[in-house]
Amino acid sequence: MTYLCITMLLSTRKFVCSQVLAGFVVLVGSTFLSGSVGAVPKPDQEMIPKATVLRLLKCPGDCVKNMQLLVGRLPDNFLVKLPLPTDAKIVATIIRDQDRSEVVLDSPQSPQQIKAFYTKSFIASGWKTEPSLPEAPGFLPSLPDFPYTRFCQSEQGPEMTLSANKDGNEPTDVRLYFNLKSENCAESDETAEATPDWQDWFPIPSLTPPEDSEVSQTDLSPQSDMLIASAQVTTKKSQEALLSDYSSQLVKAGWRQQNQTKTEQSTSSFLIFKDKKGTTWQGMLKLSPIEDQPNDYAATLLVWR
């Protein structure tokens, strides 16, 4: 029977030929794989049959019968041409069935760099990221980076879901989940119909958080002929630079800047917009320093006609 030497992940990764897989360090030794009894595991190691490892990797209720585990490599004929980030190492490939596979990597790069690499690579190869729901207008809050990114080659698949996470000084743990036949790639008509189009009421875009800024306490108050958006912004930028960033987003969305005013309490930018129906809209973007909170500003955007 084939055995693998499994070591629980302790405070250090300094094991010979160590590979991280599903919370374990898989030590692959030729003596174990060949069935030799000459090697003796260390006190913190336990001989576990490969069949047991595959069982541990199996999802509850999964009816997979011929799951495969390839340590340190991809299959000879993998279902896609998979690019690897610089200095990334293949930990293992888990083949669940003919349609579903998982690739586990270790990378010295950050999760953000990994996601940027695969986003650029897969989009260049004709894949698309999953359709995202329209954002509400006004100030968007700063949110933690969502751990999963999904790519689809077509509405019928294949689908690739990327997960990249880092724990302390450990290499970034990268998981690539492939599914050749995924219904998730088809855009849901019901979801699209249920999503309100704010542009039907107010011609205001979603304003993304500026670089080096944290946006919180966002609020949106639509009225019959006016929209009031507000937020608190903590930033390293100056008040003028912050106003310029948000104003440029409005100008990019079709608004035309009229003038700016500045007082001891606030800085404001006034804009104008004409929609497809010929209706003229006015807007005022205002930033006010928050008392006793250095680098914090109250941001307000009013849009009316």
Are the C-beta atoms of 285 and 298 separated by less than 8 Å?
Answer: no
Are the C-beta atoms of 218 and 135 separated by less than 8 Å?
Answer: no
- 199, 207, 216: which is closest to 139 by C-alpha? 207
295, two tokens: 């680098």
Phi/psi for 169 (5° steps) reads: -90, 5
Query: Which segment of 10-14, 179-183, 218-222, 252-256 scores lowest on mean pLDDT?
Result: 10-14
pLDDT value for 60: 67
Q: Which helix (H) or strand (E) holds 46?
A: strand 45-49
Q: Report the C-alpha gap between 18 and 143 in whole angstroms.
A: 35
Provide DSSP, 171-191. Answer: PEEEEEEEESS-GGGSPPHHH
Q: Please name each of the domains of the chain with its CATH number.
A: 1-57 (no CATH), 63-195 (no CATH), 197-304 (3.40.1000.10)
pLDDT in tens, 21-72: 434 434 333 333 333 344 555 655 677 787 787 777 776 666 667 788 899 9
Q: What is the pTM of this model?
A: 0.53
Q: Report the C-alpha gap between 56 and 68 in whole angstroms.
A: 12
Percent of the chain with pLDDT over 70: 75
Residue 144 pLDDT class (50, 70, 90 cuts) = low
- 162, 297, 203: which is closest to 241 by C-alpha? 297
Q: Report the C-alpha gap between 244 and 56 in whole angstroms.
A: 54
